[in-house]
């Protein structure tokens, strides 16, 4: 049975990955099951750089096929910021609410039609020999004028979906999963695993 290392310590993400891949004949291992895995510095300029770095370095360390992710928010008016700095936009130990406040301040007075933004999720699965596959998901929206909704995390309360007239934080987890950047990337990655990795391991 193929064994895949999930290159994240985030329990929420581990759960999402497990759910997505539960019907495949693979065994998932988490970072917690490794003896002193290296801490990977996320210093890339793009989501792909960071996901690739995590997947490649941990695949080499563990000698296992390794799945890593990176995600964040791009705002057109800010030329793609906060981008790879999404988690630490308002400073190294910033809370989600600090980050949201900073973003709303930077866009103060900007009309709705100029507040385009998107969430991006990039997934990379790498072999210990350095070969890898990439899957990306996107979710388009607008930055709202004020936070609304209690669900989700991060920028969800200020990420407005015009087609639903709601913020991401007003959606149930199931609704968010049907349209999120992470869900799209995961669906694509599942297909990559089925078409390439499982098929090759059978041949």
Task: Kindly list the residues in this chain that would bind ligand IMP in the complex (CB under 6 A).
Answer: 69-73, 86-87, 119, 152-156, 180, 182
Q: Tell me the closest approach of the beta carbon of residue 109 to ligand IMP, in angstroms.
A: 24
The secondary structure of residue 198, as a DSSP letter, is I
The Cβ of residue 38 has, within 10 Å, a number of other Cβ atoms equal to: 10
Active-site pick, 35, 43, 49, 70: 70
Q: CB of 154: closest distance to ligand IMP in angstroms? A: 2
Contacts of 146 (CB under 8 A, 6+ apart): 104, 158
Q: Whole-number minimum distance, CB 4 to ligand IMP, in Å?
A: 18
What phi and psi values does residue 124 have, to the nearest 5 degrees? -130, 130
CB-CB contact of 132 with 56 (8 Å): yes
Measured from the CB atom, the residue of 128 and 149 that comes closer to ligand IMP is 149
Residue with smaller CB distance to ligand IMP, 155 or 160: 155
Is 98 a catalytic site residue?
no
* Residue closest to 6 by CA, chosen among 189, 188, 153, 191: 189
Q: Which is nearer to ligand IMP, 183 or 198 (CB)?
A: 183
Is residue 118 helix, strand or coil?
A: strand
Active site residues: 70
């Amino acid at each position: 049975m193929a064994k895949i290392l999930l290159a994240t310590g985030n329990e929420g993400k581990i759960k999402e990955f497990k759910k997505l891949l539960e019907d495949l004949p693979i065994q998932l291992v988490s970072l917690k099951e490794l003896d002193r895995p290296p801490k990977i510095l996320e210093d890339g300029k793009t989501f792909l750089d960071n996901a690739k770095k995590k997947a490649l370095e941990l695949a080499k360390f563990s000698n296992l096929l390794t799945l890593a992710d990176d995600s964040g928010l791009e705002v057109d008016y800010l030329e793609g910021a906060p981008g790879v700095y999404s988690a630490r936009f308002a400073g190294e130990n910033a809370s989600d609410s600090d980050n949201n406040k900073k973003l709303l301040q930077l866009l103060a007075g900007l009309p709705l039609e100029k507040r385009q933004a998107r969430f991006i999720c990039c997934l990379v699965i790498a072999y210990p020999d350095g070969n890898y596959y990439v899957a990306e998901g996107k979710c388009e929206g607008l930055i709202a004028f004020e936070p609304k909704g209690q669900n989700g995390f991060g920028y969800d309360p200020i990420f407005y979906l015009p087609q639903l007239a709601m913020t991401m934080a007003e959606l149930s987890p199931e609704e968010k999963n049907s349209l999120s950047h992470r869900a799209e990337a995961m669906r694509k990655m599942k297909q990559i695993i089925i078409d390439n990795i499982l098929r090759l391991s059978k041949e």
